[in-house]
Amino acid sequence: MSVPEVVREIITRNRSIFDCMKMDLINYTALAVKIQPDVERVLGNPVNLNTIVVAIKRYADSFEIKDEVEDKSVLKNARLSLTDGIVDIKFSLNDSQGIDPLTILDKFSKITSNYDFFRSPDSFTFLSEDLDGIRRIFDSLPNQEDIFNTGLAKIKISIPPNKNKSDVVSYVAEVLHDNGIELVNAFFSQDNIIIILNERDSSRAYDILHSDIIRTS
C-alpha cells in the first residue's frame, strides 16, 4: 500500500476524525503527528511527516468531488455477498509461538473454504465462519479469549479494477454511518473489499448498499 492509501484507511476507520475532516475542522499537521506511528507500522518503514500531511490534504480535497460525483457512481457495477456468523481471529507475532501461517491456512482449507487471511507487520488476522474445528486450530495459543472476536458478519464488495478501494471504503463507511451503522473493521484483498460489521446490523447494511448499487446502475 502507498502512504495515501494507508492514510485514507486509518482516517476512514476513525469515525470522529473522518467526520471532523468532512467538516474541515482538522489541523492537518496535528493529525499527521497523531497517525504517523500507525502509518509507519502498516508500511514497516519510516515515513516523512510532510508526506503524511500532503496525503491528508489530498484526501480532504477529494471530499468536494465525492459530494458532487462519486456518491452517484462509486458503487456502480459492484457486487456484494453477505456472510453471517463470522469470527475475527487476530494474534500478534509474539503470541504465535512459531506457528507457520501456511500451516494454519492448510488446516483452514480442510474445514471450510469461506475464510480470509491478512497479515500486517506485527500480527495475523483470519476471518472465518465460527466453527469448532476452526477454534481448535488455535488451541496451542495463549490467551485464547483475547484473540476471538465473535458476533460479526462480513460483506464482500467486488468492484471494477478502475475503482479506488480507499474511496469505496470511505463512501461505504459514510453511507452506513448516516444510517446509524458503524464498521467494525475493513480489509483490502487483491480483488475485493471486505467490511466487518456487527451481525445485528448486517442485513440492513447489505440492503442499504444493494439499493445504492441499483440506484447507480
Are 150 and 172 within one domain? yes
Are 11 and 99 within one domain? no
Among 26, 44, 73, the domain-final residue is 73
Q: For 104-148, how does the pLDDT look when each residue is reduced to its tens digit (9 = 90+)?
A: 788 888 888 888 888 777 778 888 888 888 888 877 766 666 788
Domains of the chain: total: 2
The yes-or-no verdict on residue 67 having pLDDT over 80 is: no
If you average pLDDT over residues 43-56, what whole number do you get? 92
Q: Supply the pTM of this predicted model.
A: 0.64
The yes-or-no verdict on residue 71 having pLDDT over 60 is: no
Boundaries of domain holding 34: 1-73
Cβ(40)–Cβ(46) below 8 Å: yes
Cβ(3)–Cβ(51) below 8 Å: yes
The yes-or-no verdict on residue 192 having pLDDT over 50 is: yes
Which residues are CB-neighbours of 202 under 8 A, at least 6 positions away? 82, 84, 153, 155
Are 175 and 106 within one domain? yes
Are 68 and 83 within one domain? no
Q: Which amino acid is at 3?
A: V
If you average pLDDT over residues 44-64, what whole number do you get? 88
The yes-or-no verdict on residue 3 having pLDDT over 80 is: yes
DSSP secondary structure string for all residues of 142-157: S-HHHHEEEEEEEEEE
Cβ(70)–Cβ(138) below 8 Å: no
